[in-house]
Copies of this chain bind each other. A is one copy, B any other.
Amino acid sequence: MNNQDLKKVGLKATLPRLKILELLETVESRHMSAEDVYKKLLEMGDDVGLATVYRVLTQFESAGLVSRHHFDGGHSVFELNQGAHHDHLVCDQCGKVEEFLEETIEHCQHKVAEKFGYKMTDHSLYIYGICPSCQKENKETDS
C-alpha cells in the first residue's frame, strides 16, 4: 500500500524508501534522527547508505509524509505525520519526547500572528524540562 502512497507524492517506490517508511511506522519511538534510522536499518540487516537516509527523509518532508523538528542541541529528528497536530515536551536529561495538544495555545498563536498581520505558515513549540523518572533518579543519586 505504501507503494501507492509513494507514487502518489511523486516518488518512485524503491526499496530504501519503503524500508524507511516501514521503519517509521513500526518503531516504538516516534522521533528519530537520520542517524537513528540509519543504525536501525543496519541492525535489521537492510543495507542502505547514510546519504540515502538523509535524502529520503528530506524528500519525505517535502512530500509532507514526515515532519522535521529541531530540538535544542543540534541534530534534527523526524516524525511520521499521522494523527493530529501536536507540540512537544522534551526531557533535557534522557531526551524522551512526549506529545501534547493544547487548544488554548494553538488558538493564541493564531491570534498573535493575526495581531502582527502575519500570514501564519507554521509554528513550533517545545517545552524542555526534566521528566518525572529523571527527577526521581536525580534524587536517588544526590546523597
A124 touches B126 (CB 8 A): yes
Q: Give CA–CA (A112, B105) in the complex, Å.
A: 10
Known pairs A70-B72, A102-B108, A108-B105; A130 contacts B119 (CB<8 A): yes
Nearest CB of B to A88, in Å = 10
Give the interface centre of A70, A123, A126, A127 by most chain B CB atoms within 10 Å.
Answer: A127
Query: Cβ of A129 < 8 Å from any Cβ of B?
Result: yes
Known pairs A104-B108, A109-B105; A127 contacts B131 (CB<8 A): no
A112 touches B124 (CB 8 A): no
Q: Give CA–CA (A101, B42) in the complex, Å.
A: 46
Which of B70, B105, B117, B130 has a CB less than 8 Å from the CB of A118?
B130
Tally of chain A residues near chain B (CB < 8 A): 35
Q: Give CA–CA (A78, B30) in the complex, Å.
A: 30
User: Which partner residue on chain B sits nearest A71 by CB separation?
Assistant: B70
B116 touches A89 (CB 8 A): yes
Q: Give CA–CA (A125, B126) in the complex, Å.
A: 6
Query: Cβ of A120 < 8 Å from any Cβ of B?
Result: yes
